Structure 1
Amino acid sequence: MSRLRQSMLALGAGGLAAVVLAVAAPSFQGEADAASNPATNPAVLQPVKAFAGIKNKEQRAAALFQEAGKVISSPRCMNCHPAGERPTQSDSMRPHQPLVVRGPHGTGEVGGTACATCHHEANFDAAGVPGNPKWAVAPLEMAWQGKSLGEICVQIKDRARNGDKDMAALVHHMADDELVGWGWHPGAGRTPAPGTQKQFGELIKAWAEAGAACPKG
């Protein structure tokens, strides 16, 4: 039995089944065409050594985070860190269709149904549905949309707003977490985050080691 069929059965017949079909089917013809053509990202991440010439540690740290911000500000990250109760989707960051709102503990819901009902452990490219075992909407205190990179940087360091992560745990999360890593393997029709998770993790680690100063603004 296909995962789409399983999702439909899990939600039940009628209106909720139609909701799942709305999730699975690409909303625009352009997305349907893209499903058979994996996207690439022309943006690159500069290596840590590119910032070695900045002797002032605070300025170097801010520059390193600015570079890592190419990933943080990409749709692959921003879509799941909405400012409101509704996540966004696709490269254009349009509101999630069907209507999904943040549920308890950061999980998205459709009429009380968890994200995992439609988003399985892996991408389901045939239906255009992304997947990961940890799929969820970020808690509201981790909202990034509408904020400057400097504001996000301050927020990321705040243990009251980052899941109580110290700097070592934060670096580990960025460099090794599998849901973060999904951003570089988002499935057909979605532009991956710039660079690689390894490069991103190295930038975040170097930022932390340089004092974790944030960009202005």
Structure 2
Amino acid sequence: MRRLPLAVFALSAAVTVAGCKSCSRAQAPEAPAATAPDAGSGARAGLQPVAAFSGITDPAARSVALFVEAGRVIAHPRCVNCHPADGVPRQGLEQRPHVPRVTGGPKGHGTPGLPCTSCHQETNTSLVGATLRSVPGNPKWALAPVEMAWVGKSLGQICEQLKDPERNGGKSLEALHHHMAEDVLVAWGWSPGPGLEPVPGTQAEFGALIRAWIDTGAACPSP
């Protein structure tokens, strides 16, 4: 029963998934009001190391600068696409609505008739007959809960949301760091599969930026 949705997805995705994690959050695609520099542009592949911000003497200003750099990952479509407010995942760097039209359902894993696992397996799956195209896959593939929606939000708003246990899955800052630095679904952003642009840097570099951001007071950019 699950082979038909996969075939339909493969046919439509081969045509439309030009640059599509994820993980993705028809109306015109929404875009954050403000994002980290170059988020999603591919203009700079690496992340600046924590040491690059040591010259900022004011702790709050340094904390903000660290988060803005980390925000190049957080605000990248690979991450934002799986954080919609309407339950409809987004695809591609343009953040277009998912094709075929699906929703995350009440728990983010799809609907009873079309769960996410109909198409999204435990690993990225190459599309039949397509060159450098793949269906994203991860053992934890799912949409974020609606209270964790990022689509359409500025980087400052996302930052405040990340610090709020009511809107971050009940995580403390330490748990948030563990999630960012070690979670396998977060790690997918650096290995999204053939044809898909990864997020900047590495998960280790990203985790170090989040660690330094927390240690300097977890200050947020202006909304």
TM-score by length of 2: 0.82
Is 1:10 the counterpart of 2:16? The answer is: no
Runs (4 or more) in structure 1 with deviation over 6 Å come to none
Is 1:169 the counterpart of 2:169? The answer is: no
Is 1:160 the counterpart of 2:166? The answer is: yes
Is 1:55 the counterpart of 2:57? The answer is: yes
Amino acid at match of 2:75: S
Give SS of 1:106's match. coil
Structure 1 residues 87 and 134 mapped into 2: Cα distance closer, same or farther (>3 Å)?
same
Structure 1 residues 146 and 31 mapped into 2: Cα distance closer, same or farther (>3 Å)?
closer
Note the C-alpha offset of 1:23.
1.5
Match of 1:87 in 2: 89
In terms of fraction of residues, the more helix-rich structure is: 1
Structure-2 separation of matches of 1:42 and 1:91: 13
In structure 2, which of residues 135, 145, 154 is the aligned counterpart of residue 129 of structure 1?
135
Match of 1:119 in 2: 120
Identity of aligned residues (%): 52
Structure-1 separation of matches of 2:216 and 2:64: 9
Task: List per-residue Cα deviations over 1:177-197 (Å, max 9, x = no partner).
Answer: 000000000001110001111
Amino acid at match of 2:78: R
1:160-199 aligned at under 5 Å gives the runs 160-199=166-205
Structure-2 separation of matches of 1:99 and 1:106: 14
Give SS of 2:192's match. coil
Structure-2 separation of matches of 1:119 and 1:63: 35
Structure-1 separation of matches of 2:17 and 2:108: 31
Structure 1 residues 173 and 157 mapped into 2: Cα distance closer, same or farther (>3 Å)?
same
Structure-2 separation of matches of 1:150 and 1:157: 11
Structure-1 separation of matches of 2:178 and 2:71: 17
Amino acid at match of 1:24: A
Match of 2:10 in 1: 24
Structure-1 separation of matches of 2:148 and 2:2: 30
Q: Which has the larger radius of gyration?
A: 1
Note the C-alpha offset of 1:105.
2.0
Structure-1 separation of matches of 2:155 and 2:7: 36
Amino acid at match of 1:159: P
Task: List per-residue Cα deviations over 1:63-118 (Å, max 9, x = no partner).
Answer: 10000000011111011011322010122211001111121222233x63321121
Match of 1:67 in 2: 69
Aligned length: 195
Structure 1 residues 87 and 29 mapped into 2: Cα distance closer, same or farther (>3 Å)?
closer
Give SS of 1:172's match. helix
Structure 1 residues 147 and 103 mapped into 2: Cα distance closer, same or farther (>3 Å)?
same
Q: CA RMSD in A?
A: 1.9
Contact 2:165 2:171 in 1 (8 A): yes
